[in-house]
Structure 1
Amino acid sequence: MSRLIVVSNRVNPPGHVGEEAVGGLAMALAAALREYSGLWFGWSGKTVPVFSGELAIQTIDGVTAAVVDLEEADLDEYYNGYANKTLWPLFHYRTDLAAYDRVYGEGYSRVNRRFAETLAPLIEADDLVWVHDYHLIPLARELRALGVKNRIGFFLHVPWPARQVYTTLPGHALLAQAMFEYDLVGFQTAEYSQAFEEYVLYEAGGSEPEPGRLQAFGRSLRVGSFPIGIDAEDFARLLTSPKARRMRDLMSAATVFRHLVVGVDRLDYSKGLEERFLGFERFLADNPDMRREVLMLQIAPVSRESVEAYQEIRGRLDALSGRINGEFADVDWNPFRYVNKNYRRDELAGIYGAARVGLVTPLRDGMNLVSKEFVAAQNPEDPGVLILSRFAGAAQQLRHALLINPNSPEEIADALKRAISMEKAERVRRWHALFDNVQRDDVTAWRDAFVGALTGVKERRTALAS
């Protein structure tokens, strides 16, 4: 069996930081590495005065990680700059927030080249290389320039935008051309795959000789959708842990005679948090008889604090949460709790299990694993209700959730009322359909589908046939 080399911006194997503390993506990648053996390569999260390319390699709990430090300028230009000020807002349809700076692009190219130069000596002849996410789109191009001929796959965890949005990016053709140095490119949903295909066909002058294969820029590329899932068995184990039980009991005690509505998101403008707050405010205003029956908990750990757009949204959310409690609270009751703190996965499992409603309303999201974790955490005999944005990738699978337009506070308010009032029989019926998908399309299915497709790619073409 070929080794699998996983490449991502950050390296967070569960054994390095504790399985209960890492996110769903890290769990998914670690599961893939344990199955196929190999290596996880990426940035250490640390900076040094001068880039040296020196590797730190460590194996813990069956996962070997190789990490490299970056310079401070790399962090500013590659990560905070091009990745998170240019590509992230663009791919989430926020062209108004996208910053186009040539220096950012130069840093992005430089770091991908440095990654390639550091990684290439570690790659053996039969290795499969699996590159992850928007930070590393040019990596295959840099590896090919160094003579790497292995099969290389790329998986995009965020949406690929419609071509009318993507073409607002200066140098969009060069970035798309870099995708054709991969042998296989995977997207979360068929919608995102089709958006990429439309760009190739209508903007790049490419062709589609057969379903799932594109030709452009003198290359041929396999594309497909590979929706990511959670490790349902592992999450079930977390639910029975002492910390999960304690958190579930704590939240149940805090919401006696009330229904808990919970949202868990990284603090980001793509997550629809402002609209969600306004939707909850609208629910309280429209349903005075239900106010004291509900407590909403929003957990939103702060991220990317050095990026101005994130500083601004934090200020707006602080003001909104204060306004909601100021307007609707009583001497013995607050309707809203807003927490900027990280919680372990087992603690979150307990919180999900205590909730009557899971509120997952991103304006745009690649998949959203919180929605699947919420479903997995429910009591089958008395489950909660998932309210889900139709613009999350998960909506393509979790169709028995209450699907809403996250831009509409009215729709959010109406869905909250419906979810809280929903009869038990309907909640159970919806949950069974949702849980069936969470179990069936889990992380193992995602991993095996992508790695299997990459393994099946024939020897790489150096040029197209006529």
Structure 2
Amino acid sequence: MSRLVVVSNRVADPRKTAAGGLAVALGEVLNNSGGLWFGWSGKLVDRPAGSPQPVRMHHAGQVTLATMDLTRVDYDAFYVGYSNGVLWPVFHYRLDLADFDAGYIEGYRRVNQLFARQLLPLLRPDDILWVQDYHLIPLAAELRALGCQQRIGYFLHIPLPPPLILAAIPGHDWLVKGLCAYDLVGFQSGADLEHFTDTIRSEAHAQDLGEGRWRVFNRTLQAGAFPIGIDVQEFNALTQGIEAVDMYERMRREYSRRKLLVGVDRLDYSKGLPQRMRAFRELLAKYPDTRNSATLIQIASPSREDVSAYTDILHELESLCGSINGNYGELEWMPVRYMHRTVARSRLPGLYRASRVALVTPLRDGMNLVAKEFIASQDPEDPGVLVLSRFAGAAEQLKEALLVNPYDTEATAAAIHVALQMPVEERRERHVAMLATIRRTDVHWWCDSFLHLLGQTEAHESGTPWLRL
């Protein structure tokens, strides 16, 4: 059995309770193969940029965790500058927020080269590598340039924009070529996959070999959509846990005369939080029956608050929440309860279960697992309703949700009103269908289907030279 090697920006110990469902699922498949998980330690050191850092190894069960530090200069250029200052906004269709002129690209390349140099000596000839997310797009090309012949797969957890938006990145062609150095490239949705194939067709004259296989840059590439899921069984266990049950019972007591709506997001411009608040304000203005009745609990956990775009959205969100409460609130009822902090994952299922409606309305999102967690936590006899942005990857799967355009304030408010009034029979019918979908395509299915296809791909053609990007 080949050993699995996972490479990501950060490494998580899958045994720790703070580890999310993705870390736990990756930990399972790594444990089964005695695998290796390689990435940044999370620590910064005061050394020259690009200088090799020692790799520290320790074991988590049968899994070997291999981590290395980064210098502050490398971190600022690679992570803050290029990954989150260029790729994140562009991939979420926000060209206006991208910092193209900061010269971060060299730091991004430098850290990917450093990862490749430090990882290569740890590899075995029959290893299978699985690289995660937008921080490491060029990693396979850097490994190929050093002579790596192993199968390498890649999964993009965030959206991939269409060719014309991707083309706004200066020198975007090297990103495209970097993706084509992998043997299998996976995306969250069929739309993202289509954007990728349109790009390699138009810019690299890729030849379609059928069944997701492409001939491009003198090598064969497989591409597919693998929508990521949650561990439904693990989330059900959380729902029955002491903290979740306590949260559920307290919410039910405190809001016994109200209909709860819930939103749980990172504070990020891609999540559509101001648009959501405007839709909720429109709901209260246009549908008087919701006043003194509907309460929105909005959790917006801190995220990259040293970036001006995040400070701006924080102030806008706080202003909107204050305005709504000031204009519509009563002594015994506040329409919005806004919390700018993180709520423990063990408590969230209780909040989801107590809520009649979940608002998952990003302007653009790769998948959005909150939508799936909400469905998994519901009481099947009296389930809540999911109001879901059609611009979230989850919308391709969860068609029984009430799909909305978050830019359309009036239509979103109308959909929320429908959700609040929906009879129990219809709520049950929609819930049964969505629960079946998230059970069928859970995080274990995601791991297994991706790795099965990667195992079937052709190994890198040994006679094909690959020049460093």
Name the TM-score, length of structure 1 as normaliser.
Answer: 0.96
Partner of 1:261: 261
Q: Distance in 2 between matches of 1:36 and 1:298?
A: 41
Unaligned runs of 5+ in 2: 465-469
Describe the superposition over 1:260-310 as per-residue Cα deviations: whole angstroms up to 9, x where unpaired. 100111110001111101111111111122211111011111111222211
Is 1:23 matched up with 2:20? yes
Secondary structure at the counterpart of residue 362 of structure 1:
coil
Q: Deviation per CA, 1:155-206: give whole Å up to 9, x if none.
A: 0011111111111111111110011111110111111111100011112222
CA distance in 1, matches of 2:369, 2:55: 31
Distance in 2 separating the partners of 1:322 and 1:435: 36
Counterpart-to-counterpart distance in 2, 1:12 and 1:409: 39
- Runs of 4+ residues over 6 Å off in structure 1: none
Q: Is the 8 A contact 1:113 1:139 kept in 2?
A: yes
Given the alignment of the two structures, is residue 78 of structure 1 paired with residue 49 of structure 2, yes or no? Answer: no
1:15-414 mapped onto 2 (5 Å cutoff)? 15=15, 18-19=16-17, 21-50=18-47, 51-101=51-101, 103-414=103-414
Q: Please tell me whether the aligned partners of residues 22 and 345 of structure 1 are also in contact (alpha carbons under 8 angstroms).
A: no
Are the aligned partners of 1:24 and 1:369 in contact in 2 as well (CA < 8 Å)? Answer: no
Letter in 1 for 2:335: P
Deviations along 1:34-55, one digit per CA (max 9) or x if unpaired, are 3433011111111110154212
Number of residue equivalences: 461
Q: 2:155 touches 2:186 (CA, 8 Å); kept in 1?
A: yes
In structure 1, the gaps of 5 or more residues are none
45-54 or 441-450: which moved more? 45-54
Q: Distance in 2 between matches of 1:383 and 1:27?
A: 27
State the Cα distance separating 1:459 from its structure 2 match: 2.5
CA 1:442–1:126 in 2, change beyond 3 Å: closer, same or farther? same
Q: CA, structure 1 residues 99+449, in 2 after alignment: closer, same or farther (shift >3 Å)?
A: same
Q: 1:58 to 1:187 in 2, by over 3 A?
A: same
**Matched residue of 1:300: which SS?**
strand
- 1-structure distance, mates of 2:134, 2:221: 18
Q: Would you say the 8 A contact 1:112–1:136 is kept in 2?
A: yes
Overall identity of the aligned pairs, in % = 48
- What amino acid is aligned across from residue 27 of structure 1 in structure 2? V
TM-superposition CA deviations, 1:53-89 (whole Å, max 9, x none): 2122222355432111111111111111100010000
Deviation at 1:32, TM superposition (A): 2.9
Instruction: Measure the CA separation in 2 of the matches of 1:59 and 1:99.
Output: 39
The answer to whether the 8 Å contact 1:80/1:307 transfers is no
Cα distance change of structure 1 residues 257 and 137 upon mapping to structure 2, 3 Å threshold: same
Residue 440 of structure 1: aligned partner? 440
Amino acid at match of 1:164: L
Q: 1:285 to 1:198 in 2, by over 3 A?
A: same
Q: Distance in 2 between matches of 1:61 and 1:279?
A: 48
Aligned partners of 2:183 and 2:459 also within 8 Å: no
**How far apart in 1 are the matches of 2:61 and 2:316?**
42
Amino acid across the alignment from 2:228: I
Distance 1:61 1:266 in 2: 31
Q: 1:101: Cα distance to partner?
A: 3.0
Would the aligned equivalents of 1:243 and 1:346 in 2 still touch at CA under 8 Å?
yes
| Superposed CA RMSD | 1.4
* Residue-by-residue CA offset, 1:354-398 (whole Å, 9 max, x unaligned): 111111001111111110000000001100001111111111110
Q: Aligned equivalents of 2:157 and 2:444: distance in 1?
A: 16
Of 232-241 and 49-58, the range deviating more from structure 2: 49-58
